[in-house]
Chains A and B, each alone.
Chain A
Amino acid sequence: MITKKSLPRRTFLRGMGTAVALPFLDAMVPALAATRSTPPVRMAFVYVPNGIIMDGWNPDYEGPLGELPRILKPLEPYRQDITLFGNLTHNTGRALLDGAGDHGRCCASYLTGVQPRKTVIDIKAGVSFDQIVANQVGKQTRFPSLELGMEDARQAGDCDSGYSCAYTNNLAWKSETQPLPPVLDPRALFERLFGNGTALTPAARARENLYRRSILDFVSDDTRKLETGLGPTDRRKLDEYLSSIREIERQIEKAEKDNAQIDPHMEKPYGVPADFAEHFKLMTDMMTVAFQSDLTRVVTFLVTHEGTSRPYREIDIPDGHHPLTHHRNQPDLIEKVTQINSYHVRQFAAWIAKMRSIGEGDGSLLDNCMIVYGAGLSDGNRHLHEDLPTLIAGRGGSHFKSGRRIVYRKETPMCNLYLAMMDRMGVHVEHFGDSTGRLDALDLT
């Protein structure tokens, strides 16, 4: 029998202080609905610091993507899902009379589109465009936005030639004086996503640890009830989804166990994996779940912060990232930076593969996303703010014609891309930052 009844989009599995949101299921589509319900469009920003070796990033062609350059090689299997942009510029990241401090400026201006005030005390930038979107579409989700990172979230002090650490360590700005510090700890993020919106109390965590129970155990009654009313496809989807949550739990437990065996002088926050790739995977797995279950539609992810001197011993590079980027055209140093850039893209590609593998609506979860991967500098050696390395994975809800490299004219404001993205998110703004119009040539038509 066909009825108009359907499962509400905002259904949660609940139990013992836990609320697990559900992915987009067929059962959420009313059978007799006049128009077919379409999954929401989400957007994410994955920011990598210190620029990129552009010779290894930019293909020597425009149009349909074919063979990708060395740094982007890991994305080659998914090239039909990405759009590469050329010549996008952030003029407000440039000195504009404020002298040194390109790292501080480029990060603070990246999503705000304004030149930050050069100061370590009375910080001022602008409302970032992800927050403009979050203010509007965020009302429909449990979290208007999520701000994630993997390194050092200090907010005070001088991190770059007179620029506050608040500029280098945040991407999202709620107001022109209020950045939104990223969550670094996967455990804290997990609890934020699934622990009724607040982290578990120490007592609750102790209780959970005592019995070593999965958060899924708490909602098992609700899960069983729900399953009885689902068709086979939805049951499979739900099973895959809950399995992915369990896998995240396992990874966090493993990380915490591994950390216990690490040199205690290393100050790692509780639950933060020591291994870069493992940490990246955990954070992106949770972004996947957050998007899949419509907990949020806006995420910013500051992989590491601008000016970071993090070494990459995981790939046998003990040198600091930032000093390496001032390579003075020395081939051995350029090679190391290229390897770091490639390593980052490899992690990103693994996430894209996962997003692509999850079905949603008529396509994949990735299809309904706009995931920007990029940096606030192109050439880190010379601190250039033009031709910023920028790509979008996903089609923004089948809006973008992906699988192409589009080269715009030099000096084309990055903020023009943001205007186009805001349109896709259903947020219509005439001007943002130093925009001069909407980026054209993006759409299918």
Chain B
Amino acid sequence: MQFPGSAKPPVGIVFDSAMARIDDVLALAMLHGFEGKDQARIAAIAVSSGDLRAAQFCDAVNRFYASATTGQAAMFMHFAPIGLADGKPAGESLMFSKPAGATGIKSINDTADPATLIRNALMAQYDQNAAVVLSGPATDLARLLDMYGVKDWIARKVRLLCATQTGMQADPAAAEKVFAGWPTPIVTVGREIGEALPFPGESIAKDFAYSGAHPIADAYRAYQPMPYDAPSWAMAAMLYAAHPNDGYFKPSGSGNRRALVLDPEQKERIIRTYVEMASAKPVPRKPRRPPDDKKDEKKQDPAK
């Protein structure tokens, strides 16, 4: 949520992913890291795989990063729903075999339709101050484009859609539709980018140790036998969405449909940023809206 009266807030990011690979999980952690450091805000999180456990995981991760918030801010804290595509997941990911922590999601009715959630979230963003990160099939975004009047909202609010090519392959028809009809620039992250920028597995033991039950570290360990480094397609997309002009990547060519290009000289810096953001500690959140006692007093009906 954004409120006027202060400088334009950092970019609001919609993260729509299949939550099927560990880089999706790491990108989610990065997004929380960006938010904690006021470099981006979470506008919406949606899971396109239909896996209820993935939605529960995202919700638990939200709560983990909110755990540093106390007092009045905690009292007024409100967890936005997680979007979850209505469908059967392709398979059961090992990442979510262990509960990630407390969650408010018990059934699909505790989640939101992704297209509606994203539409509603975009309406709350300043113009040209939102970005969408897509790591998975474009099914949700294709449905979003079908919603009445939404294309105008996307054009008005979103400055960039950053999508991983590997994820979109799962639904070619949706990908085609989004490429044809999405009204803002699209930048794609090719397979080679994620493979050239592996997230270092050694960071899990070292940088996430501040919590004995870190949901991101637990998911990383559960995903496949340790030690391993993880390709970073979703992380690259997240980094570019949050910092498109900070020299991490350069998009190729010109026009509204471009691809990320890696400058080998930036490789070390990018991986360092991955680790720093994904392992960032939870920080206290500001109150959503402090109660205004004076307003309440003023509102006493004079007729009474």
Residues of A that sit less than 8 Å from B by CB: 62, 86-87, 89, 91, 94-100, 152, 159-161, 267, 307-311, 320, 322-323, 326, 328-329, 382-384, 386, 407-413, 430-431, 434-436
A407 CA to B300 CA, complexed, in Å? 36
Contact B113 A436 (CB under 8 A): yes
Contact B3 A99 (CB under 8 A): yes
Contact A309 B301 (CB under 8 A): yes
A308 CA to B304 CA, complexed, in Å? 10
Using A152-B301, A311-B304, A413-B116 as known contacts, say yes or no to A97 and B295 having CB atoms under 8 A apart. Answer: no
Query: Which residues between 52 and 82 of chain B lie within 8 Å of chain A, taking CB atoms?
Result: 75-76, 78, 81
Contact B299 A307 (CB under 8 A): yes
A107: min CB distance to chain B, Å: 14
A326: min CB distance to chain B, Å: 5
B48: min CB distance to chain A, Å: 15
Contact B299 A411 (CB under 8 A): no
Partner of A95, one of B75, B76, B124, B300: B124
A307 CA to B296 CA, complexed, in Å? 9
Which residue of A has the minimal Cβ distance to B1? A95
Contact A94 B116 (CB under 8 A): no
Asked if B112 is at the interface (CB within 8 A of a chain A CB), the reply is: yes
Q: Is the interface of A mostly helix, strand, loop or mixed?
A: loop
B75: min CB distance to chain A, Å: 6
Contact B124 A411 (CB under 8 A): no
A125 CA to B119 CA, complexed, in Å? 20
Q: Which residues of B are found within 8 Å of A329, using beta-carbon distances?
A: 75
Which residue of B has the minimal Cβ distance to A95? B1
B-side interface residues, number (CB < 8 Å): 39
Asked if B2 is at the interface (CB within 8 A of a chain A CB), the reply is: yes
Q: Is the interface of B mostly helix, strand, loop or mixed?
A: loop
Extra contacts, 5 of them, besides A95-B124, A152-B301, A383-B289 (Cβ < 8 A), are: A97-B3, A152-B303, A309-B300, A382-B78, A436-B116
Contact A91 B113 (CB under 8 A): no
Using A97-B124, A382-B76 as known contacts, say yes or no to A322 and B296 having CB atoms under 8 A apart. Answer: yes
30 A-B residue pairs with CB within 8 Å = A91-B120, A97-B3, A97-B125, A98-B4, A99-B4, A99-B5, A267-B303, A308-B301, A309-B296, A309-B301, A310-B301, A310-B304, A320-B300, A320-B304, A323-B297, A323-B300, A326-B291, A326-B296, A408-B109, A409-B108, A409-B109, A409-B112, A410-B117, A413-B116, A430-B148, A434-B120, A435-B148, A436-B115, A436-B116, A436-B147
Q: Enumerate the 5 nearest inter-chain pairs by beta-carbon distance, A residue then B residue, closest first.
A: A411-B112, A410-B81, A410-B112, A91-B120, A323-B296
Contact A96 B301 (CB under 8 A): no
A221 CA to B158 CA, complexed, in Å? 71
Asked if B123 is at the interface (CB within 8 A of a chain A CB), the reply is: yes
Contact B123 A412 (CB under 8 A): no
B141: min CB distance to chain A, Å: 15
A396 CA to B186 CA, complexed, in Å? 47
A320 CA to B55 CA, complexed, in Å? 41
B273: min CB distance to chain A, Å: 30
A99 CA to B3 CA, complexed, in Å? 5
Contact A411 B4 (CB under 8 A): no
Using A95-B3, A100-B292, A328-B291 as known contacts, say yes or no to A410 and B124 having CB atoms under 8 A apart. Answer: no
A89 CA to B113 CA, complexed, in Å? 12
Contact A86 B301 (CB under 8 A): no
Q: Which residues of A are found within 8 Å of B2, using beta-carbon distances?
A: 95, 97
Asked if B17 is at the interface (CB within 8 A of a chain A CB), the reply is: no
Using A152-B301, A309-B299 as known contacts, say yes or no to A409 and B291 having CB atoms under 8 A apart. Answer: no
Which residue of A has the minimal Cβ distance to B291? A326
A407 CA to B125 CA, complexed, in Å? 28
